[in-house]
Amino acid sequence: MVYSDTIVAMATAPGKGAIAVIRISGTDAIDIAHKCFQPKKSKDIRKQKSHTIHLGHIISEGRVLDEVLVSIFKGPNSYTGENVVEISCHGSPYIQQQILQLFMSSGCRMAAPGEFTLRAFLNGKMDLSQAEAVADLIASDSKASHEVAIQQMRGGFSHEIQKLREELLNFASLIELELDFSQEDVEFADRTQFSELLTRISDVLKRLIDSFALGNVIKNGIPIAIVGKPNVGKSTLLNALLNEERAIVSNIPGTTRDTVEDQITIEGINFRFIDTAGIRETRDEVEQIGIERTFDKIEKAKLVLFLFDGIEIDLSELKKINEKFPEKEVLPICNKVDLLTKDQKFELQNRVTDLIFLSAKEKVGVAELEQKLTSLVVSGGLDGDGTIVTNSRHYQALVRALEEIQKVKEGMDLGISSDLMAIDIRQALFHLGEITGSVTTDDLLGNIFSNFCIGK
């Protein structure tokens, strides 16, 4: 798939702004820009060096459209690897449209979504997972999701996968060579070394597969269920968390009227707080449905905040949650501590292990709670070796590659013939290659890049 045409698109968001950037890429990018652009100092932009900026006018049918800055990047030293021109014009939607149209009538084609990055990939400027990270980077809305995207864009785990894949490829060729000498019973591939390599590959794959759960959670927000009877202070606590951070709040209406989600960013980590209806015993059918839903939310939550009133103490629900979800991390929180005496506090502390005291109203203990929440994420691996898979396509390819590697391992233990082993190795190579883009299909590329915005 080699592109010969020159594409154009807005690189900045649609609408009015101080400045807008129009991007052109392709063999003829600089020649086409030359036709539409009149530099202030009469110079020929085709003869200018790469990575230079030029002031001048965009001229359409003899009329000045705008005063602009034109940046020139000559291939292969550009984002796409092709000749690239970026025009910084004034941000009026009218000017933007006029310039776009001018370039289209001068020989450019409107770019498809993600086509600039697709070209960068096809020209070897980045591998596939790096290209995908560009989309994640643009979409990142918190410190944590940004860090994951940046790390991946700079190579991330794809370098590691690439290296292991090359080693495996080496063995594959040795084993396939054995097939040519099948009469002679020779082994070119050292089975001990091969077995070691397979173990190394599976370890890496397993680690990456495990990181997906955390990665996904970071990308979409860590779900936290708040459970507590009416009036214990759940809304007050949410408000306290919101005020503390002055975060952007999105009220995502739950699928039902009894669950509401608030997204709050604490220390750059997104949390999704899910306010639930309690789980008190009931015969009422409607309430019973609400309770089932609460259980469902608890099931899906990474952490449960169990909130109770320090004056009207009722811990029956806490007991029930612990029984039903023995593996779940539940933080017991006693609210309205401002109303408690020292003795009452002391007594409660002895009754409930790891109890957190809070006054949502007086904002006492809120900062400590926040710290507890963020440390939970960090200890969960965020500050580990930092390799986190967030992309479900990578995840699926990793899982499939691991399956194939395990098949090879089992086959080797059973002493299967080289020809059968070679087939499984080829499969594993294929799935590993899918991640970095060493093997691609048009369908796969179409799928990935169509999710990009136009102009990227």
Residues that bind ligand GDP (CB under 6 A): 228, 230-236, 335-336, 338-339, 359-362
Q: Cα-flanking dihedrals φ and ψ of residue 147, to 5°?
A: -60, -40
Annotated ligand binding at 123? The verdict is no
86 among the known binding-site residues? Answer: yes
| Token pair 């009220």: residue | 251
| 211 versus 335: smaller Cβ distance to ligand GDP | 335
- Quick one: 145 or 335, whose CB is closer to ligand GDP? 335
Min separation Cβ 292 and ligand GDP, Å: 20
CA torsion, ordered 92, 97, 103, 108, to nearest 10 deg: 130
Q: Which is nearer to ligand GDP, 234 or 456 (CB)?
A: 234
3-class secondary structure, 253: strand
Establish whether 264 is an annotated binding residue.
Answer: no
Taking the least distance from each CB to ligand GDP, the nearer of 11 and 369 is 369
Q: How far is the CB of 313 from ligand GDP (least distance, A)?
A: 14
How far apart are CB 338 and ligand GDP at their closest, in Å?
5
Task: Please say which residue, 221 or 233, places its beta carbon nearer to ligand GDP.
Answer: 233
332 annotated among ligand-binding-site residues:
no
Helix then strand then coil, % of the chain, to nearest 5:
50, 20, 30
Residue 262 C-beta: closest distance to ligand GDP, Å:
12
Residue number with CB closer to ligand GDP (249 or 416): 249
Q: Closest residue (Cβ) to ligand GDP?
A: 233
150 is in an annotated binding site: no
How far apart CA 340 and CA 337 sit, in angstroms, is 5
Total Cβ atoms within 10 A of residue 101: 13
Annotated binding residue at 275?
yes
Neighbours of 236 (CB within 10 A): 19
CA distance 217 to 304: 15
Assess contact for 83 and 26: CB atoms under 8 A: yes
Is residue 158 part of an annotated ligand binding site? no
- Stated as kind and residue range, the H or E segment containing 133 is helix 128-139
Partnered with residue 226 across adjacent β-strands are 275, 305
Q: How far is the CB of 275 from ligand GDP (least distance, A)?
A: 7
Q: Which residues are annotated as a binding site?
A: 23, 86, 125, 231-236, 250-256, 275-278, 456
Q: Which residues are annotated as a binding site for (6S)-5-formyl-5,6,7,8-tetrahydrofolate?
A: 23, 86, 125, 456
Q: Which residues are annotated as a binding site for GTP?
A: 231-236, 250-256, 275-278
Q: Which residues are annotated as a binding site for K(+)?
A: 231, 250, 252, 255
